[in-house]
Structure 1
Amino acid sequence: MSHILPSSHVKKVAITNVDSWLGCWIAVHLAEKLEKKCPNVHIVALACKDNTHADLDKLKKFKNVHIHKVDYNDERCLEKALSGVRCSILLPEMTEHRVKHAKNVLCAMKKEKVKGCLLLSVAGAENKEHNLKEIMTFHEIEQMVEEYCSCYLILRKSILNQCFLLWSPTVQEKGEFPMSCTAECHMAPLDACDLACAIETVVVEHCNDDDKGGHRDAEAAMNEESTDDDHSNFGGVHKNKKYTLTGPRKITAQGLVQALNEETGQRVQFKQVSREELKKYFESLKKREDWPENLSIDRCNEVLSEGALAAEGGDHPHMAPNESMINLLLDELELIKKGDAGFVSGDLEKILGHQGKSVKDFLRKYKDEFRHQR
């Protein structure tokens, strides 16, 4: 006798930290794509209940998104939010509590029998020798994912193209591009749009594979008889893999500035500075009226979109980084300085089937953000 799932049955995919700029981008992108490709899949979006800087109204308008304000220290609260979830996208928070909170999420996932986990980690997390504090917290979380999840995929992102927008004020006002690495250091920046597309691809493939499982899987879903890892296929061919996602080409720090000059027709100078000096610059962004600490989904969606920037005078995608974000970015630059990030992995192509956007593509799109102020 065959069993057919009722039309009301939906699959749930959870994503944490949607009240951060990166979590917001990914949640908006995933909501839009799932509406078209997997209309029976809903997103459980977890946001910290104490975060007063995030405006999530636009995310609430998606019919396939259910926002849960959670206390990451309260496992029962997390268990309730994760009830019925098939797989989770774990985006560690940009706070000093990220390891503890990630462990609480993973414990709740295990108790609720969440089948798979996609962890967004950072390049360098596999190496314990460099002693970079922020990056090492991601190493700890990776170990916990392997311990708690029988089915996972770990994506380590390289420095993001979008992070270079943080330099736009000093480029505009001083014609300088200060970095804490040398001019000859190589990097292969990843575009946030490609990162979001990679996560989307994994989630959509997983949901579609579930749909192809036939009536037996539907019956198991209805009766909830499957065991913790029974027939778990999250990640497909990428199951239990660790990928480092980079852009398609290497570029030096000086080459980055040269590419910027070629796009803008300017003469911006590369300037090597200390970690402490660069940190002070990033911290100064919080004092700028045009760089609010509040999260705007409109700004996130604008950066993620394929279109051009908003018209002059529009809402540009600026958001001041917090301390943890600053320290992670400085760690990523230190990794570049040590020569541990100057490679193209090819892992993005394994997921997307293409190499993704280059940093030059990004600078071409956002060249107006870096023009000198007259």
Structure 2
Amino acid sequence: MAATVAVSHAESFLGQVLALSLADELHKRDKNDGEAAELFPGDDDPVKQQVVCLVRDPKHVPLLDEHPRCRVVSIAYDNRSTIELALEGISTVVLVPESEENQVELAKILISAMVAKNVLRCTLISFIGTDASEKEHLQRYKQVEDLVKHHIQHWTVIRQDFVLQSLLYWVSMAKDQGRIAMSINENSIFAPVDIHDIALAINTIVLPRRGKHIDDDNERDDDDDVDAHDYQIYTATGPMVVTGPILAMQLSDALDSDNPISVVPSSDDEDSGLESFFDRSSAIDQPAPTALPVSFSKSKIEFATIEREVLYQYLRSLSKSPEDTLGTVLDTPKPLATNPSKAADEGRGAIDNIVHRIYRMFLGDSHSPHHTMPRWPISRSAVSVTPIRTGNIDGSDGSESDDGSSHCSSCPDGDGHGHVDEGKEPELDAPNDTEINTLLELLDYIREGRATFISGDIEKITGKKGQKPKTFFDRHGKEFGRDSL
């Protein structure tokens, strides 16, 4: 099989999702219209394209290894020769930076190998917040961006906002504590994006329809080889802005709460048009208010503001064994207030209690009203989730929801490609220290009021609005405890 596209760091959750999405798209094109197939001279059998998946250890990516459109190649990111061998014949690389402290140095080695093998195109996955020079981990992505722009002939950058799938790190907290606690304020506004909308954008950029661009050896100044997405920096946001309490509200609704939260205009802003503000059509490129006019009734899931260090310890605990947390549990702390604003007021005075509750969560505190069973990951193993990638990501063989997002309504006919059975989705590992610090800096950026916009770039690239948080929570109700709360 021929291979012209490679995905780096393909053992990561993001890398796997992108590689599987590209592979499914190649298969769909082969099956439906043959646009991705080329014929050997004198041969009746088409040459099927594959996605080369660069990984450290193939044992960690069984889904990629099983996919007929994926070729898993083991490399060492600090050994350029292994990368060059893997990039033989590759014209495009989807660069997912390594989540390591030496991220920039590893990227330099990868990019030098790309240059040596004449890789003409690179689509880089980065983050919003690269303009914040004081944020060390986000600045590393800016350094990688600069390397790609300087060395690769045709480049595209996608800066991702807070990714909805990151909320899976809060599953245990939601189940045991009945809340989502973050280091942002209750009025912090942001537009989280679904990882599969990013994948759909990557498909559109990397696998354009025939005639959109020509992969050859032309120089950069040859206009015939310039793609519409070349030299573009896109910001991948979701189609609506939210706050922490709104996320808690939508999760509560997904959990079929007996007492769902209502969203109503405040008394001093009766005609504020809150729903139209949330909607992407009115919010794109418009500044957000300093506070959203929302009032909340009691809900099953609460939002709480916690200190950055407390959240850091919680996220680190996801990769620890129960023994690591023994001795940290003291007396049962008093419950937090159910009113979000009161919880925020009392939060600073109850930091120690929050820490104790977080650690108690991992010991399966039977006194918790949300206790059901021992929690997930107590080692650096995977967080199991139900299907995240359902159907073809571009909506084929699926149906479209009222917000423009696509989902699989039934398995397609034929050999079953384009759909993955339940339980065979990529697994989300507990975050390492670099990933935690990057996430915390992103939340800092949000708390500082620097991510209050909707870019519209996902729709610009794909023609689809993207998925709202409600769709994510509806899809993942089981993980967050729908069957047990």
Q: For residue 34 of structure 1, what is the aligned residue in structure 2?
A: 26
Partners of 1:118 and 1:234 in 2: CA distance: 16
Partners of 1:34 and 1:70 in 2: CA distance: 24
Q: For residue 12 of structure 2, what is the aligned residue in structure 1?
A: 20
Question: Which has the larger displacement, 249-258 or 137-146?
Answer: 249-258
Out of 293, 314, 319, the position equivalent to 1:281 is 314
Q: For residue 429 of structure 2, what is the aligned residue in structure 1?
A: 319
CA contact (8 A) 2:179 2:248 kept: no
2:136 equivalent to 1:133: yes
Would the alpha carbon gap of residues 79 and 250 (structure 1) be closer, same or farther in structure 2, given more than 3 Å must change?
A: same
2:213 equivalent to 1:198: no
Structure 1: runs of 5+ lacking an equivalent: 1-7
Post-superposition CA distance 1:64-107 (Å, at most 9, x none): 32221111111122111112111110000111121111111111
Partners of 2:230 and 2:475 in 1: CA distance: 35
Would the alpha carbon gap of residues 58 and 316 (structure 1) be closer, same or farther in structure 2, given more than 3 Å must change?
A: closer
Post-superposition CA distance 1:302-347 (Å, at most 9, x none): 2122459987x99895531111111111111111001111110011
Partners of 1:176 and 1:307 in 2: CA distance: 30
Post-superposition CA distance 1:249-286 (Å, at most 9, x none): 00111211122222221522211111110011111112
Give, as a single letter, the amino acid of the residue that structure 1 aligns with 2:7: I
3-state secondary structure, aligned to 1:92: coil
Partners of 1:24 and 1:172 in 2: CA distance: 27
Give, as a single letter, the amino acid of the residue that structure 2 aligns with 1:293: R
Q: For residue 293 of structure 1, what is the aligned residue in structure 2?
A: 380
Q: For residue 109 of structure 1, what is the aligned residue in structure 2?
A: 114
Q: For residue 160 of structure 1, what is the aligned residue in structure 2?
A: 163
After TM superposition, the score normalised by the length of structure 2 is 0.66
Give, as a single letter, the amino acid of the residue that structure 2 aligns with 1:28: L
3-state secondary structure, aligned to 1:186: coil
2:387 equivalent to 1:302: yes
Question: Which has the larger displacement, 140-149 or 361-370?
Answer: 361-370
Q: Structure 1 residue 357: deviation in Å?
A: 0.3
Post-superposition CA distance 1:182-213 (Å, at most 9, x none): 000001000011111110111220x6237x86
Q: Structure 1 residue 55: deviation in Å?
A: 2.3
Question: Which has the larger displacement, 71-80 or 243-252?
Answer: 71-80
Give, as a single letter, the amino acid of the residue that structure 2 aligns with 1:43: V
Give, as a single letter, the amino acid of the residue that structure 2 aligns with 1:178: A
CA contact (8 A) 1:45 1:65 kept: yes
Give, as a single letter, the amino acid of the residue that structure 1 aligns with 2:54: L
Partners of 2:480 and 2:69 in 1: CA distance: 37
Would the alpha carbon gap of residues 318 and 114 (structure 1) be closer, same or farther in structure 2, given more than 3 Å must change?
A: closer
Partners of 2:120 and 2:437 in 1: CA distance: 33
Partners of 2:453 and 2:224 in 1: CA distance: 30
2:53 equivalent to 1:86: no
Q: For residue 271 of structure 1, what is the aligned residue in structure 2?
A: 304
Would the alpha carbon gap of residues 315 and 122 (structure 1) be closer, same or farther in structure 2, given more than 3 Å must change?
A: closer
Partners of 1:315 and 1:119 in 2: CA distance: 23
Partners of 2:462 and 2:426 in 1: CA distance: 28
Would the alpha carbon gap of residues 233 and 117 (structure 1) be closer, same or farther in structure 2, given more than 3 Å must change?
A: farther
Post-superposition CA distance 1:149-196 (Å, at most 9, x none): 121000001011111111111111111211101000001000011111
Q: For residue 252 of structure 2, what is the aligned residue in structure 1?
A: 261
2:465 equivalent to 1:367: no
Q: For residue 330 of structure 1, what is the aligned residue in structure 2?
A: 440
CA contact (8 A) 2:17 2:426 kept: no
3-state secondary structure, aligned to 2:387: helix
Partners of 1:237 and 1:120 in 2: CA distance: 18
Partners of 2:427 and 2:111 in 1: CA distance: 32
Post-superposition CA distance 1:21-71 (Å, at most 9, x none): 11011111211111222244221111125xx8x522331222332221111
Give, as a single letter, the amino acid of the residue that structure 2 aligns with 1:254: P
Which of 1 and 2 has greater Rg?
Answer: 2
2:133 equivalent to 1:46: no
Partners of 2:71 and 2:315 in 1: CA distance: 34
Q: Structure 1 residue 120: deviation in Å?
A: 0.4
Question: Which has the larger displacement, 277-286 or 180-189?
Answer: 277-286
Q: Structure 1 residue 11: deviation in Å?
A: 4.4
Partners of 1:161 and 1:250 in 2: CA distance: 12
Partners of 1:335 and 1:57 in 2: CA distance: 35
Partners of 1:90 and 1:234 in 2: CA distance: 21
Would the alpha carbon gap of residues 187 and 275 (structure 1) be closer, same or farther in structure 2, given more than 3 Å must change?
A: same
Identity of aligned residues (%): 27
Q: For residue 142 of structure 1, what is the aligned residue in structure 2?
A: 145
Give, as a single letter, the amino acid of the residue that structure 2 aligns with 1:281: Y
Indicate the structure with greater helix content.
1
Would the alpha carbon gap of residues 202 and 233 (structure 1) be closer, same or farther in structure 2, given more than 3 Å must change?
A: farther
Would the alpha carbon gap of residues 91 and 232 (structure 1) be closer, same or farther in structure 2, given more than 3 Å must change?
A: farther
